[in-house]
Amino acid sequence: MGNKPTTYHAASNENLFGTSPKVTEALQHTLARLNSYPIPDAAELRAAIAQKLGVGAGEIVIGSGSAELISLLVRAFCGPASAASILSLAPSYPLYRMEAQALQVPFRVVPLTSSYQVDTDALLAKIDATTRLCFLCNPNNPTGTYLPQQELERILRHLPPHVILVVDEAYVEYVTAPDYGDALAFLHQYPNLVVLRTFSKAYGLASLRIGYMVAREELIQQLLQVKQPYNVNQLAQVAALAALNDDGFLHQTLRATLAGKAHLEQALQRLGIQYWPSQGNFLLLDAGIKADVIYGHLLRHGIQARQTEDAYTLRITIGQEEHQSHLIYMLENLLNPTNLCQQHPLLAQVVETGTTLQEASAEEAAGAIERLAAAASTQNDAQGRIALAFARAFAARNQKASQHAGNLYSSTYGMMDMIAAFNVLVNATPLVTFGHRFANHLILSAIADANAVYLLDLGIGSGLQWFHLMEQLAARPQGAPALHLTGIDIPAAEGKPDQRLRETGMRLQQQAERLGIAFTYTCIATKLEDFDLTSLSINPEQALVINSALTLHHIPDQLVTEPDLRDQVLYQIKALRPRVFTLTEPDSEHNKLDYLPRLRESLRHYHTVFDVLDTLLPPDMPERQVIEQEFFGREIINVVSCEGSRRVERHERNEAWQRRLVRTGFRPVQHPDLAPVLAEELQLHSEFSLVPNGAGYTLYWKGTNIIASTAWVADGN
Ligand SMILES: *Cc1c(COP(=O)(O)O)cnc(C)c1O
């Protein structure tokens, strides 16, 4: 903890503009009567709220904070004898999970999409016979995003009668979106609806603990059976009544909050920190660097932020202007230059040049890019080489006519150069082989008892992974199963679209013959999103496994297309019910971030990769030039210079992939600790580490995550 006092408590979404003076005044009278019990069930306050909302007083329960009501709901409807489970969203308010865990009620979540929207279909699909309570926070904490009226109604319409929908509207007073789904409007149409509200946020009474729920009387009666009559103290009741009657203070709060939000948003845009449009009195931030770094820095300077369940996002409560200005100054201080840039001035120049592209004329920007390229060419190390790659990317962005968009495999180098470079990457670094080896372990154990195997590889490339798998299969005591491999990859830009794929098949055929494995091969030259995986004819006697390495991030998601094609492919994989689905992806975020935070993120990611290459490969190796400026340089150009559908390098962080897989109905495959085995097989340099990520491992270099490999099965398999 910092030794300076906290001047800006931005962690709990309290009303940082204070409390109504009418409240303090009303409390004076009650202070003289502390010897009396409070009014049971807060009858007077209930009548006032009922009148304001146009509902019956019997449809309201007051709680010691809405937190108490959340706890009572779980106790009333998910009792120990029931087989009930609770459903909610992720990321969302952590108390739902905590209350479920406290009463040992199974708790399941439907992750939000990459833009933090509710996937209504996924939510409805996740409801089963055990689902008793479904908590929806609207607007959602910590994302600030909201469920529109139409979607709320769709959920209510499809809700089975055994499910109670609890809509937590802790921030409803702040909402300005015209299509916001006000749950109260549906109260009399749908019997299983509960609305939670609180006096802790816009009304400024967090310390007194008071909130309320609105629902039909039958539900209220059930809740009252677990509620104590004196659960809300008299000071809180009196204060809430006074607050409810002070519209002037509420409006003042809303005005100050909207102005504060606009002020903070403007600064975040300038600093290149991503935030999501928020309907609450808070913003969720992602600066493209780990949230705990920012969190610690702010704390040391008197600002208490809130970390979330996501390692890169941080939540900040809208506050007084001078506090926010201090926050903005501290963020600027940390990010510009970033930590990385403090160690390496050339990297600071990369960020500065990238920022110039936003602010200066194309001519000025061209000058800055030239200066960057000149400075980069004097330094033949990881920093010099990465700076050169970024200078090329900036030039492409500045010309607004990048030829590299969407054209992944075109090259200024010949095919043989590319193959030689790929071989170096494979043999001298674990960047490619790490995913292969992890996946192959999981595949081997999934097909241990199979006599016939159908292997579907989405993005087969040179098929390298399968040479190793075949050796492992041939070495099994029971011998190798009959193996069918279907390889999918994007069509070649020139010549026959599937020629490369067929050559891969021929080499694999030779390997199979050498090892005496019965082997058949099919190849399909297509973009994954243009193909229906469920149209493949797979014999049910064949054990199916599906693999994808460094491929799925090319598929656009709902940030680019409607419907979400990335989810669609996952749904198809799920429909095929493979024994295992193995996924390897770079652990970086080049999908949901805007240009400046994405620039910072990509610099972190590719600098780490270039540092690996700088350590493991000799500087003058010709193949290294191809790897850096062609393999990775081409990605950098696409990430930095392309927006919308032209950006095809849409990596997502491992935690985002995990949320996506859970949302689309997968769960991680249990496996023994493979880290020591993998480290041995891959002969990992001592600066690498393998960190379990909940579904597999993430490969780290000098403490920075690079690549993650995970294994999944369809839920219910
Ligand atoms: C702050 C908050 C609450 C309020 O809790 P109280 O117990 O009423 O203070 C409830 N739900 C969400 C989502 C919140 O953010």
Task: State the average pLDDT for the chain.
Answer: 94
| Contact criterion met (CB below 8 Å) for 239 and 205 | yes
Cα–Cα distances in Å, from 670 out to 446, 518, 531, 592? 11, 30, 30, 30
State whether residue 545 is helix, strand or coil. strand
Q: Which helix or strand (DSSP H or E) is residue 709 part of?
A: strand 704-714
Q: How far apart are CA 522 and CA 512, in angstroms?
A: 14
Contact indicator for 38, 278 with CB cutoff of 8 Å:
no
Q: Is 411 a residue whose pLDDT tops 90?
A: no
What is the predicted pLDDT for the residue at 337? 55
* In the predicted structure, residue 6 carries a pLDDT above the cut 70: no
CB 402 within 8 A of CB 643: no
E strand intervals along 152-281 = 164-168, 193-198, 211-215, 274-275
CB of 13 sitting under 6 A from ligand 1: yes
Measured at the CA of 410, the angle between CA 407 and CA 414, to 5 degrees, comes to 170
CA-nearest residue for atom 3, ligand 1, is: 170
Give the integer Cα–Cα distance in Å for 189 and 157. Answer: 10
How many CB atoms lie under 10 A from the CB of residue 619? 12
For residue range 143-175, list pLDDT tens digits in order. 999 999 999 999 999 999 999 999 999 999 999
Of all protein residues, whose CA lies closest to atom 12 belonging to ligand 1?
170
Give the pLDDT of residue 82. Answer: 85
Interval between CA 627 and ligand 1 midpoint (Å): 51
Please determine, for residue 5, whether its predicted confidence score (pLDDT) is greater than 80: no
Helix (H, G, I), strand (E, B) or coil at 288: coil
Residue 162 is given by DSSP the state: T
pLDDT above 50 for 639:
yes
User: What is the chain's alpha carbon radius of gyration, rounded to the nearest angstrom?
Assistant: 28
How much is the pLDDT for 409?
47
566 and 552 in contact (C-beta within 8 Å)? yes
Question: How big is the CA angle at 593 (ends 390 and 170), to the nearest 5 degrees?
Answer: 160
Residue type, 396: A
Could you tell me the distance, in angstroms and rounded to a whole number, from the CA of residue 198 to the centre of ligand 1? 7
What is the phi-psi region of residue 593: left when phi exceeds 0, alpha when psi lies from -120 to 50, beta otherwise? beta
Does ligand 1 lie within 6 Å of residue 96's CB atom? no
- Choose among 621, 704, 597: nearest CA to 286: 597
Tokens (6 digits) for 56: 């019956």
pLDDT of residue 407: 43
**Residue 12: burial class (beta carbons within 10 Å; 0-12, 13-18, 19+):** middle
Question: Is any atom of ligand 1 closer than 6 Å to the C-beta of 137?
Answer: yes
Q: pLDDT-derived band of residue 414, with 50, 70 and 90 as boundaries? A: confident
Across the range 288-317, mean pLDDT stands at 94
Give the pLDDT band (50/70/90) at residue 402. very low
| Ligand 1 atom closest to 280 (CA) | 15
When pLDDT is cut at 50, 70 and 90, the band that residue 62 belongs to is: very high
Q: Is the peptide bond before 345 cis (omega within 30 degrees of 0)?
A: no
Q: Which of 197, 156, 207 is nearest to 173 (CA)?
A: 197
* Region 383-409 average pLDDT: 78
Burial 15-26 (b: 16+ CB within 10 A, else e): bbbebbebbeeb
> Which of the listed residues 93, 209, 213 should we mutate to test ligand 1's pocket, taking the one with most ligand atoms within 8 A of CB?
93
Atom number in ligand 1 closest to CA 67: 7
CB of 170 within 6 A of ligand 1: the answer is yes
Atom of ligand 1 nearest to the CA of 92: 13
Confidence of residue 4 (pLDDT cuts 50, 70, 90): very low
Indicate the pLDDT class of residue 406, thresholds 50, 70 and 90: very low
Interval 305-358: pLDDT, tens:
999 999 999 999 999 999 999 999 899 878 765 667 778 889 999 999 999 998
- Paired tokens of 279: 């309907």
Residue type, position 546, single letter: I
Helix ranges (H only) for 576-707 are 595-616, 622-625, 633-641, 654-663, 675-682
Task: Tell me which residue has tokens 């709901």.
Answer: 73
Residue 132 gets which letter from DSSP? E
Please choose, from the candidates 438, 435, 479, the residue with its C-alpha nearest in 3D space to the C-alpha of residue 672: 438
Q: Using a 6 Å cutoff on CB, does residue 280 contact ligand 1?
A: no
Does ligand 1 come within 6 angstroms of the Cβ of 172?
no
pLDDT at position 213 is 98
> Which has the higher per-residue pLDDT, 416 or 241?
241
Angle between helical axes of 217-224 and 65-77 (0-180°, round to 10): 90
- State the pLDDT at residue 413: 74
The protein residue whose alpha carbon is closest to atom 2 in ligand 1 is: 170
* First and final C-alpha spacing in the chain: 46
